């Protein structure tokens, strides 16, 4: 017993922890273990995220590393070319995939392909802004060299069975973007080539 001013209180003997103290110690140990586990989990997630953010050569130097004029060009193209009611939101849904392909084209200077603006700008503009023209009309505007270059460089090639899962998903996203907005993607490709990959901060449609 110990006097505490207005009365006496019971003090547990030293060296004999009460049930409450034992419970508190167990709770503290559990909390510490959970904290350590969470830190390890966060570290693992961070490593995975870091691996996914490694530069992908398929996207060239990366859209975010393009000069502002090139980024502005893409911004105008994504508005002017994605006008069909059923595809109007595709440029937002697959923004990263379309930006990836655009960045690749800019980085490689479109494989050195020459502009054919003088010969096809009017036909290309008409086909790409019409709601009734399908992607085959645009595909036929590609030259033999452009078709070969597109097939060899658009990053949606098939992967081996044991390929890294993240890589497979990435290529699948690029393939899906192409299939969903094929006409718009082909139009973006030809306009980028014809605007000299690219020398203006906006897409140049025929007047």
- Show the tokens assigned to 40: 């390890």
Cα 35 to Cα 26: distance, rounded to the nearest angstrom: 14
User: Taking a C-beta distance cutoff of 8 angstroms, is the pair 96, 78 a contact?
Assistant: no
What's the pLDDT at 50?
38
Higher pLDDT, 183 or 43: 183
Higher pLDDT, 58 or 164: 58
What's the pLDDT at 28?
54
Q: Which of 138, 129, 134, 130 is nearest to 205 (CA)?
A: 129
- Show the tokens assigned to 76: 């105008």
| Average pLDDT of the chain, as a whole number | 80
Average pLDDT over residues 180-205: 97
Cα 204 to Cα 120: distance, rounded to the nearest angstrom: 12
Q: Is the pLDDT of residue 149 over 60?
A: yes
What confidence tier does 37 reach under pLDDT thresholds 50, 70, 90? very low
pLDDT digits (tens, 9 = 90+) for 65-120: 999 999 999 999 999 999 999 999 999 999 999 999 999 999 999 999 999 999 99
Q: Is the pLDDT of residue 10 over 80?
A: no
What confidence tier does 58 reach under pLDDT thresholds 50, 70, 90? confident
- How many other C-beta atoms are found inside a 10 Å radius of the C-beta of residue 3? 8
What's the pLDDT at 36?
35
Q: Is the pLDDT of residue 29 over 50?
A: no
What's the pLDDT at 157?
65
- Show the tokens assigned to 125: 């503009």
Which residues partner with 2 through β-bridges?
9
User: Which of 23-32, 33-42, 197-206 has the weakest average pLDDT?
Assistant: 33-42
User: Taking a C-beta distance cutoff of 8 angstroms, is the pair 95, 184 a contact?
Assistant: no
Cα 167 to Cα 171: distance, rounded to the nearest angstrom: 6
What's the pLDDT at 41?
39
What's the pLDDT at 64?
97
With 0.85 as the threshold, say if the pTM is over it.
no
Which residues partner with 9 through β-bridges?
2
């Amino acid at each position: 017993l110990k006097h505490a001013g207005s009365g006496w209180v019971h003090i547990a003997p030293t060296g004999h922890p009460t049930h409450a103290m034992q419970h508190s110690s167990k709770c503290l140990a559990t909390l510490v273990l959970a904290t350590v586990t969470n830190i390890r989990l966060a570290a693992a997630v961070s490593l995975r995220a870091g691996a996914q953010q490694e530069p992908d050569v398929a996207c060239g130097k990366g859209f975010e590393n393009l000069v502002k004029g090139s980024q502005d060009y893409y911004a105008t193209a994504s508005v002017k070319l994605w006008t069909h009611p059923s595809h109007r939101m595709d440029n937002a849904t697959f923004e990263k995939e379309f930006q990836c392909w655009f960045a690749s084209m800019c980085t490689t200077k479109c494989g050195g392909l020459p502009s054919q603006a003088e010969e096809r700008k009017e036909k290309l503009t008409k086909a790409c802004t019409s709601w009734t023209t399908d992607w085959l009309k645009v595909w036929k505007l590609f030259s033999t060299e452009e078709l070969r270059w597109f097939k060899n460089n658009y990053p949606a090639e098939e992967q081996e069975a044991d390929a890294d899962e993240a890589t497979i998903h990435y290529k699948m996203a690029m393939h899906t973007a192409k299939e969903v907005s094929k006409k718009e993607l082909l139009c973006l490709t030809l306009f980028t080539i014809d605007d000299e990959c690219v020398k203006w901060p906006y897409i140049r449609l025929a007047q």
